[in-house]
Structure 1
Amino acid sequence: MQFKEIIGHDLVKAHLISTVRDNRVSHAQLFLGPEGSGSLPLALAYAQLINCENKLEDDSCGQCASCRKYSKLIHPDLHFSYPFIAKHKDDHAATFMDNWRKAFFNNPYLGLENWRQQLDAENKQVNINIAEAHEIIKKLSFKSFEAEYKVLIMWLPEYLEKEGNALLKLIEEPPEKTLFLLVAENQEKILNTIISRTQLVKINKLSHQAITSYLIESKHLEESEAREIAFIADGNVQEAINMIDLHTNNHFDLLVRWLRLVVQDSGLNIISICEDELAKLGRENQKTFLMYAINIMRQIVLIKQDLSSLVFLPSHELDFVNKFATHYTLEQIEETINLFETTHYSVERNANPKILFLDLSLQLVLMFKYKTFPKGTQYI
C-alpha cells in the first residue's frame, strides 16, 4: 500500500513522510479516526515507507522486494493483530490471516461489521484474547528477518481489554527497531495505560467531495449517484461501498413526497406510501434511506444555526432544505433526527417495516402538524 493509493489526507501523509525523512519515527503511535476514514491503509503505507529499500521523496517505491511483500501482506517483519472469534483457547490472529488478507484486499477501508461477516461471526462477540497478547510478545522478541524495523499493526485495540496490560512493558520499552501502530476508532474504549504510551495521529473523516471523486474514478459511478452515496456515507468509504449496489438515487424524491404527506396529515396517502413504497424498499435500502434522511435533517440544523457555509448540496436538495428550515423549529428538526435514528435501529433488528414506518409517520404528523412532541421532550 502506497500513500498515493489512499484517498485524501494530504496533511497527514505529509506529516508521516516527514517523520521518516527526518528520522523521527516514534516507536508507538495511535492512528485514531472514524470507521472508513482510511486509518488502516495510512498505517500500512507508513510502515511500508519506513521499510522501503529505495524511498522516494514522498512515498515508498512500490518496486523493491520489501514493498512487493508489503503489498501482498506477506513480509516476515510485518505483523497484524485484530479482533477475532477464538474457536480454541490457543487461537491467535495469525490463525485467521487468510481471512484478513481477503478482507483487506477487498476493501482496505473495511469496518468491523464487514470483518465479522468475513469470519461468519453471526451473533458471536469478537475480541483480542490473552493468547494473542502472548503471541505478540513472542513474535516481537525475535530479531528482524530482513527489514530494518519489525512492525505490528493492531486494528481496533478497543477490543483488547484487560489482556492489554500484558503488552504494556513491551509497548513502553520495545526491542530495538520495533514499531507499534495502533489503528483505533474510539479512544474512550482503549485502555488509558496504552493511550499514555502512544503518540497520537488524528485522522479526520473524509470529505463528501473526496468520496465522490473516489466513486466516480474508481467505481465508475455517474456523478449524481456518487454525490448522493457520498452524502449518505458521510465520510465512511466502507459505507459508500456497501451502498453502491443499492438503489439510492430515488431517495430525495421519496423523502420529499413522504414529508409532504406528513406535514399535510394526509392519512390515507401516508398509509399508502408506507405500505407500497417504504416497506418494500428492503432492509438495506430502508437503512440507507433513513441515513439519507438523517443527513438531510442535519443540513437543516446547520442552516438553522446560521452555518450555511458548511452545507454542500446539489441545487435541488439545497432548495429543499432552505425552504424546510424556514417552516420548522430547531427543536422539531432535532427530534426528527432522533426519531429517524430510533427507526434505523429498529430496522437493523428486523422490525415489521409497515408498522415501523407508519408509526414513524404518525409521530412526525403530531410533531410537524400539531407541534406535539413525544413524551420526555420539551413541548413548544
Structure 2
Amino acid sequence: MLFSSIPGLPEVKQKILQAVKNDHLAHALLFHGPEGSPKLSMALALATYLHCENPQEEDACGICPSCQRMGKLIHPDTNFAIPVPGTKDDEDSNGSKTEKVDYIASFRTFVQQYPYGNVSDWIYHNNIEKKQLNISKAAAKQIIQTLSLKSFEGGFKVMLIWCPEFLNTSSANALLKIIEEPPAKTLFFLVTSHPDRLLTTILSRTQKIMIRAFSDEEIKTHLVRTELCSTEVAVQIAPLADGNMREAYHLVHDMKDANTALIRDWFRACFSLDINVIFKFTENFGSTDKEGQKSILLTGINVLREVLLDKSDVIDLRRSSEDDRDFIHKLGEFVLTEEKIMKMYTLLNEAHYHIERNANVKIMFADLSFQLARIMRAKSTA
C-alpha cells in the first residue's frame, strides 16, 4: 500500500510524512476517522514507507523487496491483531478447543478486496455472523511475545491493531505497559472508527491522527479514474456516499442512472395515491438486496436536500445533475413546503435505519409510501 494509491487527502499524507522526516513519530499512533475513510490504508502506507529500502520524498519506492512484501501484507516486521470469534479470554474456555482458523491470512485477503471495509464486511467475509468478536487476553499475550523478538530486517517492527475497540478490559490492560514503553523501534498502529469506545488508558498513550472523510470531488475522481463507473454515475454517487468510499463502492454496484427517475415516479405515485403503482414499487423494493434498498432511500434523501436548496436559492451547494433539476424545482414549487421536506426526510432516514436492522422491507416500504402520501397531500399551513 502506497500513499499514492490513496485518493486525495494530500494534507493528511503530508502531515504524516513530515512527522517521519522530523522524527516526531510517536511509538503508538491512533488512526481514527469516519467509516469509509482511508484509516487503514494510511496506516499501511506509513508502514510501507518505514520499511522501504529506498524511500522517496513523498512516498515509498514501491519496487524494493520490502515494498513488494507490504503490497501483499506479508512483510515479516508488520504484524496484525484483529477481532476474531472466541470467548473473552480464550485461555479460560474450560479446556474446550475452538476450530483453528487462520484469520490473519483471511485479513490479508479482506484488506485487498475491501480496503474501506468495516467490521460487518469482515464478519460476512468469514461467515461468522452468529459469533461474538473480540481481541482476547490470549491475543494480547501473543502481541507481547511477537514484539519481544528482534526485527527480521533490522528496521521498525509494526503492530497494527485493527478495531482496537474489541479489546476487552483484561486484554487492554495487558497491553498498557508495552504500548507505553515498547521495545526500541517498535510502533503500534491502532485503526478505528470509534475512538470513543477505547479505554481512556489506551487513548492517553497514543498520538491521534485524524483521517478525514473523502470530499465529493475525491470520490468522483477516484470512481472515474479507476473506471468503476461513468462520469455521469459518479456525479450522482459522490454526494450520496457523503465522504464514505465504502458506501460509494456499494452504490457503484447497486445504483443505476435511473435511481432519481425511480424516486420521481415513486413520489408521483404517493402524491396521486395510486395504490396499484405503490404496491408495485413495494414489490420491486422488497426484491432488491439490502444495499440496493439503502441506495434508493439515500437517493430520496438527496432529492429532498436538493429541493430544499432549490427553494432557498442556494445554487452553489446543489449536487444534482442538470437533467434532474426541472423535476426537483417543480417538486418544491408545487408540492413540498420546507415543513413537508423535513417530515419526509425524517421518515426516509428512519427507514434506512430499520433496513440496517433487518426490518420486513415490504411492510416497511408500504407503510413509508402511505406516510409520504399523507404528508404530500396535506394542505400547507399558512
**Does structure 1 residue 346 correspond to structure 2 residue 347?**
no
**Does structure 1 residue 60 correspond to structure 2 residue 24?**
no
The alpha-carbon deviation at position 9 of structure 1 amounts to 0.8
**Does structure 1 residue 36 correspond to structure 2 residue 39?**
no
User: What secondary structure is seen at the aligned counterpart in 2 of 1:30?
Assistant: strand
Counterpart among 195, 200, 218 of residue 203 in structure 2 = 195
Amino acid at match of 1:35: E
Question: Separation in 2 of the partners of 1:150 and 1:368?
Answer: 61
Question: Separation in 1 of the partners of 2:256 and 2:367?
Answer: 23
Question: Separation in 1 of the partners of 2:100 and 2:308?
Answer: 44
Calculate percent identity across the aligned residue pairs.
37
CA contact (8 A) 2:84 2:133 kept: yes
CA contact (8 A) 1:248 1:285 kept: no
Aligned pairs (5 A) from 1:210-289: 210-275=218-283, 277-289=284-296
| Counterparts in 2 of 1:93 and 1:248: CA distance versus 1, 3 Å | farther
What's the counterpart of residue 111 of structure 1? 118
What's the counterpart of residue 6 of structure 1? 6
User: What secondary structure is seen at the aligned counterpart in 1 of 2:80?
Assistant: strand
What's the counterpart of residue 375 of structure 1? none
What's the counterpart of residue 23 of structure 2? 23
Aligned pairs (5 A) from 1:34-183: 34-86=34-86, 89=90, 95-162=102-169, 163-183=171-191
**Does structure 1 residue 317 correspond to structure 2 residue 324?**
yes
Question: Separation in 1 of the partners of 2:344 and 2:152?
Answer: 57
CA contact (8 A) 2:255 2:295 kept: no
Deviates more, 1:343-352 or 1:106-115: 343-352
The alpha-carbon deviation at position 143 of structure 1 amounts to 2.1
| Counterparts in 2 of 1:354 and 1:107: CA distance versus 1, 3 Å | closer
| Counterparts in 2 of 1:229 and 1:76: CA distance versus 1, 3 Å | same
Unaligned runs of 5+ in 2: 92-97
After TM superposition, the score normalised by the length of structure 2 is 0.88
What's the counterpart of residue 186 of structure 1? 194
The alpha-carbon deviation at position 308 of structure 1 amounts to 4.8
User: What secondary structure is seen at the aligned counterpart in 2 of 1:245?
Assistant: helix
Amino acid at match of 2:249: I
Q: CA RMSD in A?
A: 2.8
After TM superposition, the score normalised by the length of structure 1 is 0.88
Aligned pairs, number: 373
Deviates more, 1:355-364 or 1:8-17: 355-364
Question: Separation in 2 of the partners of 1:93 and 1:197?
Answer: 32
1:101-144 alpha-carbon deviations (Å, 9 max, x no partner)? 11111132222221111221123232211111111122112222
| Counterparts in 2 of 1:139 and 1:321: CA distance versus 1, 3 Å | farther
1:26-56 alpha-carbon deviations (Å, 9 max, x no partner)? 1111111122211101111011112222110
CA contact (8 A) 1:84 1:127 kept: yes
Amino acid at match of 1:37: S
| Counterparts in 2 of 1:120 and 1:296: CA distance versus 1, 3 Å | same
1:190-211 alpha-carbon deviations (Å, 9 max, x no partner)? 2222112111111111122222
